[in-house]
Chain A
Amino acid sequence: MSQHRETDFVHNLASRLTENKNLKVEETPGDRRADIVVEDAHTGKRIFIEIKNAGQYGELPISSILSVNDQIKQIPSTDQFMLITRSSISNFLLKKLKEINVTAISNASVDEVVDKVQYALSA
């Protein structure tokens, strides 16, 4: 996914999430922690959403976990972190991401991600 398409995805996702009036959605392009922060206005639960892509390589390199770890360190442990990608994720990397409580979603549409975010916030 080119940078341009990634920006479009972020905008579209933020826009769809904003349709839910119970959610406070903030696009945070300059924030090293994530691209979008979603907060449930009633419960105060938050999800930090990061979009990462591997371009032509097609699969997130396993070392992506290093930068994800850096990002997680900067958010409170009570908040959730979600990684969205258009690239594939190997089973090994998926397993490692799960160990650090990262929900990783590959090749999902904006609507599918919205459903998962809302589900995660309601859980």
Chain B
Amino acid sequence: MDGEIRLKLRGFDQEKVTKIFTNAYPNNLASAYARSAYDRIAREGEKTLTSNDFCAGYHTNDSLFLVYWMEADVLKVYVETVNNKDMVLMKATINRYFQQITRLFDNQGMNWSKPEATITLEDCPFYGFVKTRKERFAEIWKAQKEKLFVTPIASLLASYFALKVNILPGDDLLKDMKKAVILTAEAYIGIILVLFFEVILKSSKKVFTFNF
């Protein structure tokens, strides 16, 4: 099991990217590579990627990442954990490295966008995405759509129908319609507050959500 993080960097500047990593993680590429599956395969005499195929790397005692040389404006990072059967650990490791790397880029004024990740387990790929403000807005809107449109319209139509077939007296119906209007107003105020606190105030979290 291994993972890959992919980012678009504005302005293709490999030299700047390499410098950012080597300043943050000096002399780590060789030792990170030596711990990787790539090196294990190379030592078995198989052709694979060498340390020259990477511009930077870093490792801890239980995980590592290796940064591939950029292709156009796309940066890809290989992530590996020592325990290659723990999906939760792999997910947490990817997120930890993603946050570290994007923090480095932010501190150096390097614009990045479209973060994506994948974890490959056997032949099953898992996809990771970051919920942007737009996606959070869409999620909240979708959950509240019914309360904002369907419920008030249904309530008013039900009241009109009840009036037409004389199920309830007019005064009761008027009270029901006032209640429907108040409930609808509550729903709109509620969604404005939710959007304010969950979308506008909260900055985009630098965390991948994986579809598993």
Contact = CB atoms under 8 A, between A and B. Distances in A.
Interface residues of A, number: 23
A54, A66, A92: residue with the most chain B Cβ atoms closer than 10 Å:
A66
Contacts of B48: 65-66, 69, 96, 100
A52 interface: yes
Interface stretch (A11-19, A55-63, A111-119): A55-63
Interface string A62-100: 111111010001000000000000000011100010011
Interface stretch (B105-113, B121-129, B131-139): B121-129
B56 to A, nearest CB: 15
A3 B123 CA distance: 9
Interface string B57-74: 000000000001101000
Contacts of A52: 123
Secondary structure at chain A's binding surface: helix, strand, loop or mixed?
helix
Nearest to B129: A56
A91 B78 CA distance: 17
Given A55-B118, A62-B4, A62-B76, A100 B71 contact: no
Majority secondary structure, B binding face: strand
Contacts of A96: 48-49
A65 B129 CA distance: 23
A63 B4 contact: yes
B2 interface: yes
Interface in A17-72: 52-57, 59, 61-67, 69
Contacts of B38: 66
B49 A62 contact: yes
Nearest to B124: A3
B120 interface: yes
B118 A61 contact: yes
B111 to A, nearest CB: 22
A20 B173 CA distance: 76
B49 to A, nearest CB: 7
B41 A57 contact: no
A77 B80 CA distance: 29
B166 interface: no
Nearest to A53: B125
Contact of B211 (A56, A66, A69, A92): A56
Given A61-B4, A90-B71, A96-B49, A66 B37 contact: yes
A106 to B, nearest CB: 15
B118 A62 contact: no
B49 A57 contact: no
Nearest to A6: B123
B47 interface: yes
